[in-house]
Structure 1
Amino acid sequence: MNLTKTRAAALSIFSNLTLTVLKIVVGILSGSMSIIAEAAHSGFDLLASFIAYFSVRVSDRPADQEHPYGHSKIENISGMLESALIFLVSLWIVYQAVQKIVKHAPVEHLPLSIVIMVVSLLANVAVSRILYRVAARTQSIALEADAAHLWSDVLTSGGVSATLAAIYAGNRFGVNLNLLDPVFSIFIALWILGIAYRLTRKSYPALLDERVKPEAEDKIRRVIENYCAGKCQFHKLRTRQSGAKVHIDFHLQFSPDTHIDGAHWFSHGLKKKLEHEIPGSEIIIHLEPYEDALVEGGKKQ
């Protein structure tokens, strides 16, 4: 299934909306704190899906007069916003779980609750796999974040299902295991806090214009060096990531007797080569003669 980023985000919205409503209804009927925590988790995922849908639509807009570098950073901003939302939801879940422990409230309608959680698990497996594939193909941080949230739902839904099954079995054999419900909901809260941390670590470097990963920058250097092959040198390489875009700029040094037309067309060919090797790259090349180049330490950088 070769979905676009926008359609993948729309699929996530539909899936999360359906599952959130189901979990809220069953959570209220059963009184299960772990299901209510999962409903809150899915509700957050629904909001995150809306954010992802908005951000991928905006990030795909071409550069304009007001945004000459494009709109790609909106995906990183949405990732930071989603992290903040995850943190708040986690605190709410912990608070509600503690209240449940204090009140010793039982869990009801267990068979229906277990069925709904298993359905939720299977649906999230399918949708998260689709989102991960589209995110990898399009280099979309927003869709990757959305897929990560759904995958966390898969794991927590499985845990909730097992917890409810244990409580149901305990009830059948006269053993009170209701405490497992709020305890596991606290585990869910800690789990999604970890997601918030990882998403923050991935989103903020681009907002600070941090250079791309060393292995990616090494590849850029190799492409330039191989293309130059003694015809020119380069230095002052700078890179940064912005959403799915990779911004690259550097100086090419030519012999002073090189004609400007020749240098221009050479740099144009190098630009095309980089765009082919580094998908989503935006490249600026400054041309200069050897004698005017400021090469640090007497060698190219």
Structure 2
Amino acid sequence: MINSIKLNQNKIVPLNKTTSRQRQVNDVLWRVLFLNLVVAAAKIITGLLTASISILADGFHSAMDASSNVIGLIGSTIASRPPDHDHPYGHQKYETFATLGIGLLLLLTSWNVLQSVIERFLQGGAPQVTILSFGVMIVTILFNWLVVVYEKREGKRLNSGLLLADAAHTKSDIFVSLSVLVSLAAVKLGWLWIDAAVALIIVVVIGHTGIKIVRHASEVLADSAVIDTAQVENIVLAINGVESCHKIRSRGSAQAVHLDLHIQVDGQIPLEKAHLLGHIAQDQLMEALDVADVLVHVEPV
């Protein structure tokens, strides 16, 4: 007889714990959204006052960061919904969709910056350099750095790929702002070509970050394996009575991993004992691995 069992449903992450986590993620995103709006407004106003195209472009770039925060808030809010009839595994992948959106925004940003670089090489030109432009750029860079440190720390604490992706996005913005700052200094010294050269390096940095985020989000959406099968085998085969295990599969995001596997036991033992071995296997896997749910299929041999 083959017995398929799904055990210890109560060991799935409690709904109130998941809801609390999503609420904390949203709180972080709201704070970051506010700071990004302040930074964007400061750059855009300064760019208009000084007729600096580079600062103005960087301001619109920061405004794009705010739009990524909005995407993150929408994705995180939907992801916090509990499992239902149509979504028995929950809604966590909506957060991954939001992460994918941030990665695509990064790629779009890199393309926009690249166009500006090409235009600068072909047409030349230089921004006006004032004390105001230097001051605003330095202050906004410090603001962005604080956002990166804060968002990265909270992303690790809450195990949120969305926050970590947004932190990487904001970090790339610092490099963009630094390129503007360097270009201002270069213009002041008469080295006009440095502006476009530094910006070209930034294009590579932003594009590389965007590709990494898109690749990671795509792997989650494609249900790529997230747990080493050897690690699962070591845990299960250490249980007295389990003779082998196979068909080990894992999928999901970091905060909602689902694991299923087949274990083989002596076909002569009572069904109740085989069922108990399935319980033990699931309990030990839930305890040793950071997973939301484990499905154990028991086979006699």
Please, what TM-score do these two structures have when normalized by structure 2?
0.83
**SS of corresponding position for 1:105:** coil
Which residue matches 2:138? 118
Is 1:18 matched with 2:38? yes
User: Closer, same or farther in 2 for the Cα pair 1:60/1:225, shift >3 Å?
Assistant: farther
Cα deviation for residue 41 of structure 1 reads 2.7
Number of residue pairs the alignment of both structures matches: 280
Code of the residue aligned with 1:245 in structure 2: it is A
Map 1:180-259 → 2, pairs under 5 A: 180-212=194-226, 216-226=228-238, 228-242=239-253, 244-259=255-270
Code of the residue aligned with 2:229 in structure 1: it is E
8 Å contact kept, 1:236–1:251: yes
Structure 2: 5+ residue runs without aligned partners? 1-20
- Kindly report the root-mean-square deviation, in angstroms, between the aligned alpha carbons of the 2 structures: 2.4
1:91 to 91, 101, 111: 111
Code of the residue aligned with 1:225 in structure 2: it is L
2 CA distance for matches of 1:276 and 1:31?
60
1 CA distance for matches of 2:196 and 2:245?
61
Code of the residue aligned with 2:258 in structure 1: it is H
Which residue matches 2:91? 71
Code of the residue aligned with 1:194 in structure 2: it is H
Is 1:138 matched with 2:158? yes
2 CA distance for matches of 1:74 and 1:63?
13
2 CA distance for matches of 1:81 and 1:211?
22
Cα deviation for residue 287 of structure 1 reads 1.6
8 Å contact kept, 2:186–2:192: no
Structure 1, residues 64-106: CA drift from partner, whole Å, max 9, x if none? Answer: 1110111121222222222222222222223234334444433
1 CA distance for matches of 2:237 and 2:150?
38
Is 1:151 matched with 2:165? no
Please, what TM-score do these two structures have when normalized by structure 1?
0.83
2 CA distance for matches of 1:283 and 1:117?
50
Structure 1, residues 254-279: CA drift from partner, whole Å, max 9, x if none? Answer: 22233333333332233232222222
Cα deviation for residue 250 of structure 1 reads 0.6
Map 1:147-186 → 2, pairs under 5 A: 147-168=167-188, 170=189, 176-186=190-200
Identify which of structures 1 and 2 has the higher relative contact order when contacts are C-alpha pairs closer than 8 Å and 6+ apart. 2
2 CA distance for matches of 1:56 and 1:243?
14
Which residue matches 1:266? 277
